[in-house]
Amino acid sequence: MPLEMFMFATTRMALLIGGAIGGATFPLFAQETTKNDTVIVTSPVQSGATKLATPDIETPQSVSIITRQQFEEQGATSVRQAVSYTPGVYSNQIGASNRFDYIVLRGFSDGSLDNVYLDGLKMMGDTNSHSSLVVDPWFLEDIEVVRGPASVLYGRSSPGGIVSLTSRKPAFDAGGEVKLFAGNNNQRGAAFDVTGPLDDNERVAARLSGMTRYADSQFTPLKEERYALMPSLTWRITDRTRLDLMAYLHRDPQGGSHSGLPYQGTVVPYNGGKISNTFFEGEDDYDKYDRRENMVGYNIEHLFDNGWSVRQKLRYLHTKVTLNQVYAAGWLNETALNRGYSGSGEKMSAIALDNQLDGSVDTGAINHRLLVGIDYQDRSNHTTGYYGAFPPIDAFNPVYGAQPDYITLYSREKHKLRQTGYYLQDQMSWDRWRFTLGGRYDRVSVSNIDKLHDSRSDLDKNNVSTRAALLYLFDNGVAPYLSYSTAFTPTSFADENGNVLEPMKGKQWEAGVKYAPLGGNSQYRAAVNRSTQPNNATSDEPTAPARARGAIE
């Protein structure tokens, strides 16, 4: 498989920064301690499931944390590769393709392209197009996989859960790293990371990370090529106020393969023969992929004297995608495959904003950690689509250089989405009991504007999402829990009449137990869940409208 692992050991070199040579040591995740009269339980801290730093042992939900050390040792070159060993995750839906991070959580594929968050904000891709954003793992500190509905805190999301990415932040300890790598499929590349303070008072720190990678794909002549850069800055404005700035510049001039071949002839023989695993069914002159994505954002936070804090996160993004592909469309006869053509040009802009207020209050013996928030999402995607046909190709003795039978413009659309959400979460503690209650109200507007046929379809919906959970911490580090939560997933999919489909809704019951051995850092968990989504929507064919396809349970 291409780009799965490095065949050569990486080379690391310390960078000279501020007159000192050294490699910075960055924590994989914070550690928080839960105390009682007789025991101390140490647990990794997560923030994806609650939007607040919460010990995982006290989180009544299935959460997996993939550390930077882990996905570097895997040689992961994409987020979907980094989470491939995580329970409840299926990330090989598209085989060897690395263009998108398709991540199916607990069997729900409807959110597989739209369930990724970066630093707490949605990546804002459009599932009804090829405008799906990615972040290279080189720029990440860790990855959290939160299984189960998360709509109470994040609004529109799949019942299967979310994938929460944390970017590498500036450090006030100077350090750096250079990495050179090579591997199978003619893979080669380089990456660097440098960070440190910019002033003597250590009020301002910066970080600059970058990488480039090139590789052949499994299917000659397609290549994979990537260039990316992430500058970031942290400013301690006062002892209680902090500002983080970041940008991410990403270019994939070549995206490798993104196609498939029939079951007969690959998994099982077809007329006594099998297709070569390097067979390319397309045409070099017509198989092209180019993605450009740019993001810029900030996070500002202030801590009040009474312990409450307020923060605002904002990110703007823009992406441009050009796609041309000749694909196999089934067997024509004993040796030849039919071929179709799909082309697309897309430009998408989006903004995501989240305002939060959190703090603690006591009511008698119960402590309440409250989180109140208002978030906003706005996305606009302009798409142009083409379809066509190419002459058949002999799968066992291919000859290339064919010209298309025809290529036809079939769509010119604008997909718009706006969401405003108001949410409240109460994490209650009483003795060893932990209670979590949450509620959210969303207003969502979805519009599909068909410029080719001068028509449009609009859908405006309100939704209430809820969550309730109960957990008990035993002295020996065992923590059983029970939870209920709901999901809300509007899409820009339209039916055969051009009408935007109703939002998908889901719910889940989950019961589980977590175990953190006393005095150690390891943790074990087991859970069972019942998740349902009665109105799943998916696309029948690449050029066909989407339809509600029944229930998932």
Domains and CATH numbers, the chain: 11-548 (2.40.170.20)
Please report, as a single letter, which amino acid is at residue 53: A
List all residues 6 or more positions away from 276 whose beta carbon is below 8 Å from its beta carbon.
none
Measured from the Cβ of residue 477, the count of other Cβ atoms closer than 10 Å reads 22
**Residue 494 has what pLDDT?**
67
Hey, which residues does 342 pair with through a beta bridge?
325, 387
pLDDT in 10s for each residue of the chain, 553 residues: 333 333 333 333 333 233 332 333 333 333 344 444 444 445 677 688 899 999 999 999 999 999 999 999 998 999 999 999 999 998 887 766 778 888 889 888 766 677 899 999 999 888 778 888 999 999 999 999 999 999 999 998 888 999 999 999 999 999 999 999 998 888 899 999 999 999 999 999 999 999 999 988 877 788 899 999 999 999 999 999 999 999 999 999 998 888 788 999 999 999 889 999 889 999 988 999 999 999 999 999 999 999 999 999 999 999 999 999 999 999 999 999 999 999 999 999 999 999 999 999 999 999 999 999 999 999 999 999 999 999 999 999 999 999 999 999 999 999 999 999 999 999 999 999 999 999 999 999 999 999 999 999 888 999 999 999 999 999 999 999 999 999 988 776 666 676 777 778 889 999 999 999 988 778 899 999 998 887 666 555 443 333 333 344 4
Query: Cis bond leading into 197, ω under 30°?
Result: no
Residues 6+ apart with CB under 8 A from 497: none
Q: Would you say the pTM of this structure is higher than 0.75?
A: yes
Give the span between the Cα atoms of 340 and 94, in whole angstroms. 18
Containing H/E element for 223? Answer: strand 223-238
The predicted pLDDT at position 482 comes to 98
179: left (phi over 0), alpha (psi -120 to 50) or beta: beta
Q: Are 65 and 143 in contact (CB under 8 A)?
A: yes
Give per-residue burial for 19-48: e unless 16+ CB within 10 Å, then b. Answer: eeeeebeeeebeebebeeeeeebbbbbbbb
